[in-house]
Chains A and B, each alone.
Chain A
């Protein structure tokens, strides 16, 4: 079946640093999604990407839909304590199930 490889599995960074994580797949997706899960909560959508090559920003977050449609990355600039959580990438094709990566757990050191 379709699988997404998300890396890194976890990150430990200092407050103020930039963060980068990515997701690759052996399959093509028409849509890439990035979710964030706060501790004790369900995942919430951060950014949706619908077009190969698309670069989209949402505040300090920037995500790109790879040209091959098989990968995507998420960058967070100038991290702050509330950025802590698990970030999931997800790929989707119209009218089909959404496939989730295993998540990147972000820790911010004081």
Chain B
């Protein structure tokens, strides 16, 4: 069965370190998204991609970057982790001209 996976599921890191969160989907969807979820804010869009080599900034992109070298993967990198980036991160994918986004199980990141 097709799926979307995230790794690691939990990560603790220190302020200033570079961190990369992985997202892998096997639906062959062109559209992929990264969100962060914080209490009181719901799901906020960080970055998104509509295809290989395409990346776009979402509403809370500062301090984050993504790259899209193939259809299946959209890794999210925190260049220099900050305590304000402690959150739960969700990756999602969606087919072209589709409305349903399929979410991964999430990565809980703690920055000390």
A contacts, CB < 8 Å to B: 1, 6, 31, 33, 40-45, 48, 50, 88, 92, 94-95, 97-98, 100-103
**Which residue of B40, B90, B99 contacts A92 across the interface (Cβ within 8 Å)?**
B99
Would you call B20 an interface residue if the criterion is a C-beta within 8 Å of the partner chain's C-beta atoms?
no
Assembly CA distance A41 to B88 (angstroms): 10
Assembly CA distance A97 to B42 (angstroms): 16
Chain A binding surface, main DSSP class: loop
Instruction: Give the most central of B48, B59, B90, B101: most A CB within 10 Å.
Output: B101
Q: Mark B57-96, 1 if CB is under 8 A from A, else 0.
A: 0110000000000000000000000000000001010100
Q: Are B99 and A43 in contact (CB under 8 A)?
A: no
Q: Are B97 and A94 in contact (CB under 8 A)?
A: yes
Q: Count residues on chain B whose CB falls below 8 Å from chain A CBs.
A: 21
A1-B59, A100-B42 given; A42·B103 CB < 8 A: yes
**Which residue of A42, A45, A97 contacts B105 across the interface (Cβ within 8 Å)?**
A42
Q: Are B48 and A102 in contact (CB under 8 A)?
A: no
Ranked nearest first, the 9 interchain pairs of A and B with the lowest CB-CB distance are A42-B103, A102-B42, A100-B43, A31-B99, A92-B99, A45-B100, A43-B103, A103-B42, A42-B90
- Sample (15) of A-B pairs whose CB atoms are under 8 Å apart: A31-B99, A33-B99, A33-B100, A40-B106, A42-B104, A42-B105, A42-B106, A43-B90, A50-B99, A88-B42, A97-B48, A98-B99, A100-B35, A100-B42, A103-B43
Which B residue's beta carbon lies closest to that of A32? B99
